[in-house]
């Protein structure tokens, strides 16, 4: 499998493991896990063919470590980013003093009045460094970086989680904790 094929397969895996498992009739359990053999066979029926070994390579080399196996590698799930309702059983974790969020200009008026909302996903996504937030924002145009005073939020009782691949997650960031 070349880099382009790996990239396209990883995009497809994000689609079925985070957003639309029904597109290929893939059952996910309440914690978001799919059976690896079933994933491979259902993807093949949908015209996306890859072997168990190729899947392992995609999981291992994915730039953001988006997917994770269970201990015996019989199951796989996305580590974060879901729009479907899954219980990832994330551990509550104390955040660093500041976290970053990359967005674009057109969302600023709404963010200034409502704060950061989770929109279609299950959490608001925050990055631990500015460079990562730049990449997130650039998906939509010229990135605007917002600085979130996460330690202050935490002291005020807001809960933070960190996904298996290092993304910081929370339910809502009120505007008063954001430096624009």
List residues near ligand HQG by CB under 6 A: 64, 66, 81, 103, 107, 110-111, 114, 116-117, 119-121, 125, 136, 140, 167
Residue nearer to ligand HQG on the CB measure, 24 or 111: 111
Q: Give the closest residue to 165 by CA, choosing from 67, 72, 24, 36.
A: 67
Q: How far is the CB of 152 from ligand HQG (least distance, A)?
A: 19
Tokens of 123: 């959490």
Task: Return the residue matching tokens 């997130």.
Answer: 136
53, two tokens: 């070994």
Of 71 and 109, CB closest to ligand HQG: 109
Q: How far is the CB of 117 from ligand HQG (least distance, A)?
A: 4
Based on CB atoms, which residue is closest to ligand HQG, 13 or 39? Answer: 13
Minimum Å gap between C-beta 80 and ligand HQG is: 7
Nearest approach in angstroms of CB 130 to ligand HQG is: 14
Give strand ranges (E) for the chain: 34-35, 67-69, 75-78, 99-103, 124-126, 144-148, 161-162, 168-170, 178-179
Q: Which is nearer to ligand HQG, 37 or 129 (CB)?
A: 129
Phi-psi region of 99 (alpha: psi -120 to 50; beta: other; left: phi over 0): beta
């Amino acid at each position: 499998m070349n880099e382009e094929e790996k990239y396209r397969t990883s995009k497809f895996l994000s689609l079925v493991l985070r957003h639309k498992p029904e597109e290929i009739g893939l059952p996910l359990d309440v914690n978001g896990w799919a059976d690896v053999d079933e994933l491979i066979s259902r993807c093949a029926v949908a015209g996306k063919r890859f072997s168990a070994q190729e899947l392992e390579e995609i999981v291992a080399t994915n730039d953001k470590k988006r997917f994770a196996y269970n201990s015996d590698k019989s199951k796989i799930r996305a580590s974060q980013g879901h729009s479907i309702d899954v219980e990832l059983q994330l551990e509550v974790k104390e955040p660093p003093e500041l976290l970053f969020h990359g967005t674009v200009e057109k969302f600023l008026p709404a963010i200034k009045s409502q704060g950061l909302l989770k929109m279609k996903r299950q959490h608001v996504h925050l990055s631990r460094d500015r460079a990562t937030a730049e990449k997130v924002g650039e998906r939509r145009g010229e990135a605007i970086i917002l600085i979130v005073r996460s330690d202050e939020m935490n002291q005020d009782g807001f809960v933070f989680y960190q996904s298996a691949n290092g993304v910081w997650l929370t339910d809502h960031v009120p505007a008063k904790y954001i430096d624009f």
